[in-house]
Amino acid sequence: MPGLPAARRTVLKGAALAGAAGLGAAACSTESKLGHAKQPTPTAPVDLGAASEVPVGGAKLYREQRLVVSCPAKGEYKAFSAQCTHGGCVLTKVEGTEGHCACHGSRFDTTTGKVVQGPATVPLPAVPVTAEGGKLVAGPGA
């Protein structure tokens, strides 16, 4: 910008950088974003296979179905969306009863859906789940 005083150039550069930073912050806000999928939870029943695949006292991640299922006690199951409520990424792994999102580091308790570590601030949505005939079915009507 030839001909402009140095102070004016500095102000204009600062304004441009502030605008770019604002866009970055909006793209990665801490508000709940139930993600890239329109529905973070199933809209129809989903067959998850053998209930025995979910360890008692642990949890199993069903990445393709975007679900995480825990088994706090034998025969008792709880399911949640595995789609992070911060940025919408699908959880990448489960260690014990903690689900991990690799996108921004959020962690969730897979027995309650509650946030264990941010930046997410909103718990994972609960999903109905039943075990019938040794198989797990999650979603509406389950």
CATH number at 92 reads 2.102.10.10
Is 142 within the bounds of a domain? no
Is 2 within the bounds of a domain? no
Residue 107 burial by Cβ neighbours in a 10 Å radius (0-12, 13-18, 19+): middle
Q: How many domains does the chain divide into?
A: 1
pLDDT tens, residue by residue, 106-135: 999 999 999 999 899 999 999 999 998 999
DSSP conformational letter for 83 = B
Q: What is the CA radius of gyration of the chain?
A: 21
Is 10 within the bounds of a domain? no
Domain around 70:
47-136
Using an 8 Å Cβ cutoff, are 63 and 28 in contact? no
Neighbours of 44 (CB within 10 A): 8
3 state DSSP class of 78: strand
Is 9 within the bounds of a domain? no
Is 66 within the bounds of a domain? yes
What's the rounded Cα separation, in Å, for the pair 40 and 85? 9
pLDDT tens, residue by residue, 28-82: 443 444 444 456 788 889 999 999 999 999 999 999 999 999 999 999 999 999 9
Neighbours of 29 (CB within 10 A): 12
Is 27 within the bounds of a domain? no
